[in-house]
Amino acid sequence: MERVIEDLYRQHSRRVLATLIRLLGDFDRAEEALQDAFAAAARTWPTDGIPGNPFAWLVSTGRFKAIDTIRRRARFDASQQHIEDSLYSVDETEIGDMEAIEDDMLRLIFTCCHPAIPADAQTAMALREICGLTTEEIAHAFLVPAPTVAQRIVRAKNRIRSAKIPYEVPDRDALPQRLDQVLHVIYLVFNEGYSASSGIDVVRADLTAEAIRLARLLLTLLPHPDASGLLALMLLQESRRLARSKEQGSLVLLADQDRSLWDHAKIAEGLALLAEAMRAAELGAYTVQAAIAAEHARAPTAEKTDWRRIAFYYDLLLAAQPSPIVELNRAVAIAMAEGPAKGLDLIDAILGRQELKAYHLVHSARADFLRRLDRTEEAIAAYQTALSLCRQEPEQAFLRKRISELAAAPERQ
């Protein structure tokens, strides 16, 4: 039963939270109610059994726990009475209103992305509230101190409260000006699911599925090439999910994946959306990234991947959105097209500017280039650096395996 509740928390706690925010009208109150609801489930479900609708049970229990808390506080603080009255005024049918529940995550994203909230605080809050990441995990992802992340989240919540930012999807006329940041947040949610920043799993399918669902919903609200491009990108990436890890959870590199396991229905849908997005007068960043993913999807084997075309797309992306991460990905593509020495020079240039030094994937890529150049000792050192920075267990296991293989190489004996 404990595992069932843990799985339920992992898969649905963010949606329960989003609905509790709508019903309770406050982020902190909803987060406290969420924890109270799952604590109640841990106490009662082992004896009473799992309710027929666990989601509704958790939302209802969380709401009544919040009412009890407010009632106790109201005994000592008269200002709390109006909050208790407003919570009681919620129509019970709202708790099970599936249409409202389906929209709650989108409401949460638009609230996190309100223009009154600074961009860095928007991102931190979205990862905390939508993905459920800890402040330490967010700090690791963005290479900033954990207290800085915590302060950003607190500031964002205070801003929502003080500015009375509504918990809603804005009117259609206001959607375009919010589109970029909302797409960015949906992509962050997907990325955390596609390659979990920490833990025992390569992929968090709950987050990738939620991001795709939200992108579909957003596309119906606001048909736009960038929204089509993002949905295409996520579908093409998600199509490889089953091939990206083995049954025991170990990581499988793209070149080694069994392509018969790829989801060809998702690939077909992604390619159709990409074709639609490519008709735009100006290609957005998500569309270009989807075009890169499409090159992998179209290649019948890893050896037949058109890496020169992929490098060309990274050139476009780098011109539009200069970033060391894009430079790193471009370096990998060039290494595949022109040889590891070219890629190594590009990565060393990035590190020479003191960029991405705390990012494990830059050291992992560098180690791979050194390995392919038979510079074994340097490769081992680079893999060890990557391992020291990596927080995901399957990636750690992969890096340890590479180190062991190189350490046992004949030339070192």
Q: Quick one: how many helices (H) and strands (E) in the chain?
A: 19, 0
pLDDT at 126: 86
Residue 413 has pLDDT above 60, yes or no: no
pLDDT at 222: 86
Q: What percentage of the chain carries pLDDT values higher than 70?
A: 92
pLDDT level of residue 101 (50, 70, 90 thresholds): low
Taking residues 113-137, what's their average pLDDT?
A: 87
Q: What percentage of the chain carries pLDDT values higher than 90?
A: 57
pLDDT at 167: 87
23-77 pLDDT tens trace: 888 888 999 999 999 999 999 999 999 998 898 899 999 999 998 888 876 665 5
337-359 pLDDT tens trace: 999 999 999 999 999 999 999 99
pLDDT level of residue 374 (50, 70, 90 thresholds): very high
Residue 296 has pLDDT above 90, yes or no: yes
Q: Residue 279: what are its φ and ψ, rounded to 5°?
A: -80, -5
What mean pLDDT is reported for the chain? Answer: 89
Taking residues 172-179, what's their average pLDDT?
A: 82
The mean-pLDDT minimum among 96-100, 174-178, 242-246 falls in: 96-100
pLDDT at 183: 93
> HSE of 362 in the Cβ direction (CA atoms, 13 Å)?
19
> CA 262 to CA 268: how far, in whole Å?
11
> HSE of 364 in the Cβ direction (CA atoms, 13 Å)?
19
Kindly report the pTM of this predicted structure. Answer: 0.83
pLDDT at 134: 86
pLDDT at 168: 85
Residue 230 has pLDDT above 90, yes or no: yes
251-295 pLDDT tens trace: 999 999 999 999 999 999 999 999 999 999 889 999 999 999 999
The mean-pLDDT minimum among 46-50, 94-98, 170-174, 368-372 falls in: 94-98
* CATH numbers and ranges of domains, the chain: 1-96 (1.10.1740)
191-224 pLDDT tens trace: 988 988 777 888 888 889 989 988 998 898 889 9
Residue 93 has pLDDT above 60, yes or no: no
pLDDT at 102: 64
Q: CA 212 → CA 66, 205, 367, distances in Å? A: 31, 11, 33
Secondary structure class of 267 (helix, strand, coil):
helix
Residue 130 has pLDDT above 90, yes or no: no
> CA 330 to CA 335: how far, in whole Å?
8
Give 114-121's long-range contacts (Cβ < 8 A, gap of 24+): 114/160, 114/163, 114/165, 114/178, 115/177, 115/178, 116/159, 116/163, 116/165, 117/156, 117/159, 117/160, 117/165, 118/152, 118/155, 118/156, 119/181, 120/152, 121/152, 121/153, 121/155, 121/156, 121/159
